[in-house]
Structure 1
């Protein structure tokens, strides 16, 4: 590795440790006030936004396993944020619904996240935020195509 590439790697690690971890906290912190991970909040939000959504629908949408969503659903059930109701046409299919507490919690977390994001846009401007998001989208898409990092 050249000296300039080694310096860039050191800088990338520093940015990750000092900044990108903050971005994760920036997004997830409002949900933690209500005993939720950000992923659990996103599931709650999906249930709030869609009628007749099932565990399988969410797993498919997020491109994760059924068991990964099932673990998150279990926490939401324990917090009394959601309940499951069998579909009329197929009693084996369970639809997810928000409880009154779940509706209130989803709205509060959504309001907190929205306010944070609005402040972020005000501070940096629409164009810079769009550019950052576009770079992340392109970076992720290209790197996901190249998921095998064989040491060469």
Structure 2
């Protein structure tokens, strides 16, 4: 019985640790977004598109987990401000292709270099770990993520 409680305590501690890290990250995101006149959904969209040359609005929604109405409103604002370019997909007029404009790329670069922004703070926090510790942490996160995704898929199949 005691062993079961220890396992539960460890899993609860791990879950609370993830929640605390996420909460702290959201605070940095809120601050950075606010300082640049962005909403959290707009920030999320820019970061989602960042590593791709272009992405359909539907894919951005899937990756960012934003509801369609929130996504549309945020994209409209980013296009209006000149941070995003939007065009119709040639083969499918119902699909919209999004890409960062030059102004959008500059904004994302500013966000990454922002001294008290998430990227710089997280980089500094990560530097306290050895390469081996980072690798172990990444492997553990991947195991948890994979397990949760599998359980979700099993639940959806029922």
TM range (shorter): 0.5 to 0.7
Task: State the distance in 1 between where 2:34 and 2:76 align.
Answer: 16
CA distance 1:6–1:108, change in 2 (3 Å): same
Task: State the distance in 2 between where 1:101 and 1:80 align.
Answer: 6
Greater shift after overlay, 77-86 or 5-14? 5-14
Within the candidate set 51, 72, 75, 1:73 is matched to 75
**Contact 1:40/1:73 (<8 A) preserved:** yes
Q: Please, what TM-score do these two structures have when normalized by structure 2?
A: 0.62
Q: How does 1:2-151 map to 2 (within 5 A)?
A: 3-5=5-7, 7-8=9-10, 11-12=13-14, 15=17, 18-26=20-28, 29-34=31-36, 35-37=38-40, 40-59=42-61, 62=63, 64=65, 67=68, 69-77=71-79, 79-87=81-89, 89-90=90-91, 92=93, 93-112=95-114, 113-147=118-152, 148=155
Task: State the distance in 2 between where 1:45 and 1:6 align.
Answer: 35
Task: State the distance in 1 between where 2:120 and 2:64 align.
Answer: 28
Instruction: Specify the SS of the correspondent of 1:83.
Output: strand
Gaps of 5+ in 2: none
CA distance 1:125–1:98, change in 2 (3 Å): same
Greater shift after overlay, 120-129 or 25-34? 25-34
Q: How many pairs are equivalent? A: 145
**Contact 1:55/1:66 (<8 A) preserved:** no
Task: State the distance in 2 between where 1:69 and 1:86 align.
Answer: 16
Q: CA deviation at 1:45?
A: 3.8
Instruction: Specify the SS of the correspondent of 1:124.
Output: coil
